[in-house]
Amino acid sequence: MATEQYTTDHAAHAEEHETMTKSKIWRVFFILLGITAVEFFIALYLLPKGILNHGIGNFSYIILTLVKAFYIVAYFMHLKFERVAFKTSIVVALIFIVYFIVLLLTEGSYLHIHMAN
């Protein structure tokens, strides 16, 4: 009975990872390549010509980089095929890390302002 459960779980897990075919890998590769091309277009054409504001350019870099990070983590690190609880634990940890970085930067600038006076 335990062997049947192991075989069923193992087969289901293997089936999830079999969905990552060569065609999907290439599709994700070309999506990442397209996003990178857009970033280069922004950096080498739109910003120097003054067509795009630097604030909007930086915001678009952040968004495009987060999209690229999602594709890398989801497909190449196989997080897309994991269970929801594991995904949630990773996302919560990431949120806390970003939150702590923002807090450290905020406190660092606050300390610099008050130490100068």
DSSP assigned state of 19: T
- Mean pLDDT for each 10-residue chunk of the chain (117 residues)? 56 56 88 94 90 87 88 77 74 85 80 65
The reply to whether the predicted model has a pTM over 0.75 is no
- Domain positions in the chain are 1-82, 83-117
3-class DSSP string for 40-84: HHHHHHHCCCCCCCHHHHHHHHHHHHHHHHHHHHHHHCCHHHCCH
Provide the pLDDT for residue 89.
Answer: 77
